[in-house]
């Protein structure tokens, strides 16, 4: 116990930006891995207890709720983090009043449109689900706005407690109801009660006590920055969840259940690591926004660590998808194997892109992500319907990958190179190392999978161990023989943790 307490004390953030960033990254990693791990274990358990159509019905409700949230997202959190001053208390009451108003409107609108959504997707069973989910935005709206300090001040050990309170609630409630009743309400009540738990913990974890107030100049200042986050959120929703809407509308709830599970399992490993980097990077970059050379070096350190972890995870899920599905989900879920592999390619690309957004936001260009996403959405809209009609959910996944490759990736790279004032040669040199190591590892795992005849669960374990060993060996060679600077970054992180 004393050792654990000592380790926790060493991981509490210090005074320097580097110390806060590294230790914050460790806490966010613990938080995200635990949070996502709980979600994935929950999905595996529920996949054995519920029907694919249950996931599709919940998916319809979440599509509607998420669409309304994105359409009304004011970008207040990002605007508060962007503020140069550390103390933003004078903005919080205004932000809280705006969020409560938004949450109340969203709850009423979600409840009101529920019958029309159920009719649109030809799923009357979705009506009561959506009406219950309508409670969620109100719960989120009245949470303590002081929790923004957890991110702004890089106090991610507190963010971990706040985030996991909901995840644990969701896990316990969903499993209990699924075991007892085998019903879609396991998904619904777990989701809503998770938001209720975070609401309670937000007031326990931070001592700020908001009051209803509205300062028009403060609201204008926050929205002046947040409007691009709002626009980006809308476009991101159309792109990232428009595919779900197309599947649910053109096909059926069962197909949507298959597609959404494929998406979650394929995206989680790689993008969760990138999300860790992104959440730590933005507040750190914001403190360096006027020092481009320092920002550039911080960016390359971030992308080096991020891609070293996210690239092999994305390639790995593509390689082991057939064994994973049979081992953990069962034969009924075999239709998601190819979609997992296609979306795994998409996750590979997204994990790199997620390191770009914080740089643009820190330099005052949140519009970059919105503009590129708009173009990407237009391309997707042109091909996704015919692809889905022709090839089902495989066609949907293929359309998503294709429209990310062109035009998004080239434009994203151009904009980030321009923002940090670097060269294409340096950028591609940094991502070449993890790319070579990951693809080599993926080839070995794919070959091993084709010759192994073990029970599915044992085969999965063997493939993971083989992949980890191969990747580790290649990384060691690249660091010692070819000058990959990852080792230096890892030593820096280790020294900070040791104090």
- Over residues 150-162, the pLDDT tens digits come to 776 666 677 778 8
Pick from 47-61, 118-132, 155-169: least confident:
155-169
CA 451 from centroid of its chain's CA atoms? 34
Q: Which of 96-100, 109-113, 215-219, 278-282 has the highest mean pLDDT?
A: 109-113
Q: Is pLDDT above 90 for 112?
A: yes
Task: State the pLDDT confidence band at 130, using cuts at 50, 70 and 90.
Answer: very high
Contact 358, 282 (CB under 8 A): yes
Distance CA 446, CA 320 (A): 7
Inter-CA distances, 261 with 40, 52, 54, 175, 481, Å: 10, 9, 11, 17, 41
Of 31, 58, 70, 63, residue with least CA distance to 167: 31
429-485 pLDDT tens trace: 989 999 999 999 999 999 999 999 899 999 999 999 999 999 999 999 999 888 887
Inter-CA distances, 48 with 34, 323, 324, 327, Å: 21, 16, 14, 12
Q: Is pLDDT above 70 for 57?
A: yes
Residue 92: exposure state from Cβ atoms within 10 A (0-12, 13-18, ≥19):
buried
Domain ranges of the chain: 11-225
Give the three-class secondary structure for 167. Answer: helix
Half-sphere exposure of 466 (CA within 13 A, CB side): 20
Q: Is pLDDT above 80 for 292?
A: yes
- pLDDT in the model for residue 17: 52
Task: State the pLDDT confidence band at 490, using cuts at 50, 70 and 90.
Answer: low
Distance CA 309, CA 136 (A): 34
pLDDT mean over 18-31: 62
136: left (phi over 0), alpha (psi -120 to 50) or beta: alpha
Quote the tokens at residue 221: 């200042």
- pLDDT in the model for residue 388: 97
Q: Is pLDDT above 50 for 11?
A: no
Of 452, 434, 435, residue with least CA distance to 322: 452
Pick from 15-24, 211-220, 314-323, 474-483: least confident:
15-24
374-417 pLDDT tens trace: 888 899 999 999 999 999 999 999 999 999 898 889 999 999 99
């Amino acid at each position: 116990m004393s050792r654990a307490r000592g380790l926790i004390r060493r991981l509490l953030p210090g005074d320097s930006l580097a110390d806060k960033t590294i230790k914050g990254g460790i806490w966010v990693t613990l938080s995200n891995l635990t949070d996502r791990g709980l979600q994935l274990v929950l999905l595996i358990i529920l996949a054995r207890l519920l029907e694919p159509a249950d996931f599709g019905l919940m998916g319809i409700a979440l599509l509607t709720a998420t669409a309304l949230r994105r359409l009304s997202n004011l970008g207040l959190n990002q605007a508060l983090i962007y503020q140069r001053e550390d103390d933003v208390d004078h903005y919080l009451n205004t932000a809280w009043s705006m969020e409560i108003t938004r949450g109340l409107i969203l709850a009423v609108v979600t409840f009101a449109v529920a019958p029309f959504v159920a009719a649109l997707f030809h799923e009357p069973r979705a009506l009561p689900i959506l009406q219950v989910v309508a409670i969620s935005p109100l719960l989120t709206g009245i949470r303590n706005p002081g929790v923004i300090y957890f991110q702004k001040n890089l106090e991610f050990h507190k963010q971990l407690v706040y985030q996991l309170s909901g995840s644990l609630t969701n896990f316990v409630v969903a499993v209990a109801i699924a075991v007892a009743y085998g019903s879609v309400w396991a998904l619904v009540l777990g989701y809503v009660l998770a938001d209720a738990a975070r609401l309670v913990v937000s007031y326990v974890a931070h001592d700020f006590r908001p009051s209803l107030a509205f300062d028009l100049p403060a609201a204008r200042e926050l929205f002046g920055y947040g409007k691009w986050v709002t626009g980006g959120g809308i476009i991101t929703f159309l792109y990232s969840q428009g595919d779900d809407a197309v599947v649910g509308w053109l096909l059926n709830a069962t197909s949507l259940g298959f597609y959404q599970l494929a998406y979650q399992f394929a995206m989680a490993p790689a993008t969760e690591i990138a999300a860790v980097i992104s959440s730590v990077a933005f507040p750190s970059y914001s403190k360096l926004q006027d020092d481009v050379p320092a920002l550039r070096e911080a960016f390359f350190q971030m992308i080096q660590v991020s891609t070293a972890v996210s690239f092999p995870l994305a390639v790995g899920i593509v390689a082991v998808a057939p064994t994973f599905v049979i081992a953990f989900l069962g034969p009924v879920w075999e239709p998601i194997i190819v979609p997992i592999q296609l979306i795994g390619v998409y996750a590979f690309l997204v994990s790199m892109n997620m390191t770009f957004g914080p740089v643009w936001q820190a330099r005052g260009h949140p519009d970059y992500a919105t503009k590129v996403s708009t173009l990407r959405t237009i391309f997707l809209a042109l091909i996704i319907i015919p692809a889905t009609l022709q090839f089902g959910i495989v066609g949907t996944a293929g359309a998503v990958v294709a429209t990310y490759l062109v035009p998004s990736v080239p434009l994203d790279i151009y904009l980030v190179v321009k923002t940090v004032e670097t060269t294409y040669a340096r950028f591609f040199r940094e991502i070449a190392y993890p790319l070579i190591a990951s693809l080599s590892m993926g080839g070995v795992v794919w070959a091993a999978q084709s010759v192994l005849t073990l029970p599915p669960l044992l085969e999965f374990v063997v493939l993971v161990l083989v992949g980890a060993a191969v990747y580790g060996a290649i990384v060691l060679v690249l660091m010692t023989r070819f000058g990959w600077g990852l080792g230096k970054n890892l030593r820096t992180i280790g020294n900070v943790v040791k104090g």
